[in-house]
Amino acid sequence: LSTTSEHPVKHLVVIGVGLIGGSVARALKHAGFVGHVTGVGRSRENLDRARELGIIDHWTHDIAEAVHDADVVLVAVPMGAYDRVFAELAISLPKGALVTDAGSTKQHAIDVARRHLPDPSLFVPAHPIAGTEQSGAEASFAELFEDRSCILTPEPSTSLKAFDKVKALWSATGSHVIEMDARQHDDLLAAVSHLPHLAAFALVNAVRKQGDEQHDPFKFAAGGFRDFTRIASSSPEMWRDIAISNRPALVKEIDALQAELVEMKKALINGDGDKLLKLFSAAKKARDEWLEKHGGSL
Ligand code: NAD
């Protein structure tokens, strides 16, 4: 292994070398935080490309083989693959090795880790609040996490030493680390991330269904439609998995959006312009304040 003792993490194993896994590997290499990086995935083409690009040093399809001498394992696969991936990595995870992840929902990650890992106190769940609608190693870049937040959701039983090391790892990617309870994270993200994705998918479908042979509504779609629906170009598989792994919170958020739409619909039916103005103005004020306070990011 091409490592020196200067690296805080000698051997990092990245399971799922996609946009997120690839970007973490790039950022940590760039920061000199990791020595050797092993990539694990399913597609030979993606893994070969990741090696060519210098994102990983070598790769295998075999999770158990990859992790047997790992110091830290990063799980960066879609939520639907968690159960299988954690079961496989638990087979040969060495004693004392730390595990972190990048999954978009945290309670599910914790439940899976508890079910499979020999020592769940060495699992430190994480969710970097950064991404694009692109997938795969080719789309990854070292600066993805710079000045973005990364939420860690440790349990009371999480090892303090493990937490500190994983916190240092995510900080080395350039992100600001925030600590939060997993359930609180899942509720919050259902509102600000998962619901917008579902709404974007729903809007595109609603418009799509209005088209026919003679009449293509997308022909007339402009900037507003493009802005609102950018995230409907995200990976359908990834978003299916996120939605399924955060069901109760997401159902509550859909009810909240539905209630807002019903209120607007009522105002429209009644020709109540004042009511619409009030609803639109409250939303504009909240969004403007968010941009001013947070620059549009968490
Ligand atoms: P991606 O599709 O770019 O990468 C996922 C990688 O995992 C792919 O290379 C795929 O081949 C691999 N993979 C899938 N199933 C696997 C399995 N069973 N074993 C091994 N490898 C497998 O997706 P991504 O955007 O990098 O997302 C990865 C994780 O990060 C997801 O859990 C996602 O919810 C989370 N996340 C995504 C974003 C985002 O905006 N894209 C942001 C934060 C967190």
Residue-wise burial string across 175-197, b where 16 or more C-beta atoms lie within 10 A, e elsewhere: bebeebebeebbbbbbeebbbeb
pLDDT tens sequence across 97-120: 999 999 999 999 999 999 999 999
Exposed/middle/buried for 243, CB within 10 Å: 0-12, 13-18, 19+? buried
**Residue 239 to residue 104: CA distance in whole angstroms:** 10
Length of the chain: 298
Ligand 1 atom 14: the closest Cα is on which residue?
77
The whole-number average pLDDT for the span 21-25 is: 98
Say yes or no to pLDDT of 236 above 90.
Answer: yes
Sorted by sequence, the CB contacts under 8 Å of residue 239 that are 6+ apart come out as 197, 198, 201
**Residue 286 to residue 203: CA distance in whole angstroms:** 22
Say yes or no to pLDDT of 3 above 70.
Answer: no
What pLDDT band is residue 65 in, cutting at 50, 70 and 90? very high
Q: Which atom in ligand 1 lies closest to the alpha carbon of residue 104? A: 34
Q: Which of 238, 241, 298 to mutate to test the pocket of ligand 1 (most atoms within 8 A of CB)?
A: 238
Q: What is the pLDDT of residue 139?
A: 97
Q: What are phi and psi of 100, to 5 degrees?
A: -135, 170
102 lines ligand 1 (CB under 6 A): yes
pLDDT tens sequence across 121-172: 999 999 999 988 889 999 999 999 999 999 999 999 999 999 999 999 999 9
Q: What angle (nearest 5°) sits at the alpha carbon of residue 192, between those of residues 104 and 227?
A: 105
